Amino acid sequence: MSLGKPAFTLGVEEEYLLVDPETRDLASRPPKAFMQRCEEALGPHVTHEFLQSQVEIGTSVCQSVGEVRDELIRLRRTISDVAREFGLRMIAASTHPWAVWHKQVPVEMERYRILTEAHQSLARRMVICGTHVHAGIADPELRIELMNQITYFLPHLLALSTSSPFWEGFDTGLKAFRPTIFGNLPRSGLPEHFESFSDWNDMLELLAETELCDDPTKIWWDIRPSAKHPTLEMRICDMCTRVEDTIAIAAMYQSILAFLYHIRASNQSWRRYRRIFLAENKWRAQRFGIDGSLADLGRRTLVPVAELVEELTGLLREHARELGCLQQLEHARAIVMNGTSADHQLRVYKAALEEGAEDHEAQTRVVDWLIEASLEGIPG
């Protein structure tokens, strides 16, 4: 039985890195009082991540993209201010240019101890951060139906969010290296296709019965039905350095879901394509970001990401207007025009090298840019 038109309420989670302003290296052992102070200021909206050099925030359930923006600005500012109280700086990016994973220190919590025991060095390598967007969909059957269809658009969202071009001191040649690190874990990557919510539950039951996985929160797909909330959680995106980029992606995600629900009313749905084609598009988004092309599977040809974003923005315009997020959706065009965080990081890095800087000094300038850009547009 349908529960009616979904509200598509939103919740956003962001993960940040803590750096030492003198060395610009990750703060692998921040003072314990840092998280205590964050919790005093933000309560349940802040939590530990896997490593001590990471911190995660989460908004309330928001009725609009505008509400999400207001909360993210408050949360980012608070984390940054508390970090400064303890002589640290916050950066919003999926990777640090030269951090080495085996020098990072996990948080002393039972969940993370179990994760490390189960996955060993694969878990320890997770010196990465991401952006997760929850959309409220009360009807579980509709949640599954829309997950199946919106998977097609996940590479587009990844391309707009790229912020991990460096890994352990090297320019990887990819705009988003984070999905490669995360993709080494089991139950990661693009989701499977499900016939129904019952089909989803059958999979969870079999995973538990066979002792393969007894915790649905450990299904780390790029999109998944949340195990804790009546939401569809999009997880493919890198951590956006600039808050307006996060907001644009949240607006696009919400608007795509509204569009897919709209065509459903006419007994239509987005065509299902083989996973191999979606995986190729995801790879191309990782490799080239907004400068590349993705396969338009309907037209059976490669199309520049810039053109696809323009087309998608046009397709979603009326739905975004109804949701009150048209201005935020159209910021996706600014991302294409000006570049993602990865593009800016690489520009800073290459400009420093051209000026005669040594490689490490060039990467240091990248960290300096990240510290500044992470608070761009956020009142002091």
DSSP 282-334: HHHHHHHGGGSEEEETTTTEEEEHHHHHHHHHHHHHHHHHHHT-HHHHHHHHH
Give yes or no for residue 2 having a pLDDT over 60: no
Task: Work out the number of other CB atoms within 10 angstroms of the CB of residue 3.
Answer: 12
Give yes or no for residue 362 having a pLDDT over 60: yes
Mean pLDDT over 94-102 rounds to 95
pLDDT digits (tens, 9 = 90+) for 68-97: 999 999 999 999 999 999 999 999 999 999
> Cβ contacts of residue 177 below 8 Å, gap of 6+?
94, 95, 164, 165, 166, 167, 286
Q: What pLDDT sits at residue 123?
A: 79
Domain limits of the chain? 10-373
Mean pLDDT over 350-363 rounds to 98
Mean pLDDT over 7-17 rounds to 97
Q: What pLDDT sits at residue 3?
A: 62
Buried b (16+ CB within 10 A) or exposed e, 131-170: bbbbbbbebbebbbbbbbbbbbbbbbbbbbbbbbbbbbee
pLDDT digits (tens, 9 = 90+) for 240-249: 999 999 999 9
CA-CA distance, 88 to 331, in Å (whole number)?
Answer: 31
Query: Of all residues in the chain, what percent carry a pLDDT higher than 70?
Result: 99
pLDDT digits (tens, 9 = 90+) for 263-294: 998 889 999 999 999 999 999 999 999 999 99
Model confidence band, residue 346 (pLDDT cutoffs 50, 70, 90) = very high
Mean pLDDT over 216-234 rounds to 96
Mean pLDDT over 43-69 rounds to 95
Give yes or no for residue 206 having a pLDDT over 50: yes
Model confidence band, residue 104 (pLDDT cutoffs 50, 70, 90) = confident
Determine which of 49-58, 235-244, 365-374 has the lowest per-residue pLDDT on average: 49-58
Mean pLDDT over 300-306 rounds to 97
pLDDT digits (tens, 9 = 90+) for 111-156: 778 887 877 888 788 899 999 999 999 999 999 999 999 999 999 9
The one-letter amino acid code at 320 reads A
**Secondary-structure percent of the chain, ordered helix, strand, coil, rounded to 5:** 50, 15, 35
Give yes or no for residue 5 having a pLDDT over 90: no
Determine which of 33-42, 50-59, 121-130 has the lowest per-residue pLDDT on average: 121-130
Model confidence band, residue 57 (pLDDT cutoffs 50, 70, 90) = very high
CB of 329 closer than 8 Å to CB of 251: yes
Q: What is the CA radius of gyration of the chain?
A: 20
Q: What pLDDT sits at residue 22?
A: 97
CA-CA distance, 79 to 35, in Å (whole number)?
Answer: 10
Instruction: Name the CATH topology of 10-373.
Output: Creatine Kinase; Chain A, domain 2 (3.30.590)
Extract the tokens encoding 336. 């294409």
Phi/psi region, residue 233 (left: phi>0; alpha: psi -120 to 50; beta: rest), is beta
Determine which of 51-55, 107-111, 137-141, 353-357 has the lowest per-residue pLDDT on average: 107-111
Q: What pLDDT sits at residue 1?
A: 42
Beta-bridged to residue 55, according to DSSP, are 16, 48
Mean pLDDT over 224-233 rounds to 95
Which one, of 67, 71, 58, lies nearest residue 8 by Cα? Answer: 67
Which one, of 260, 309, 315, 310, lies nearest residue 160 by Cα? Answer: 309
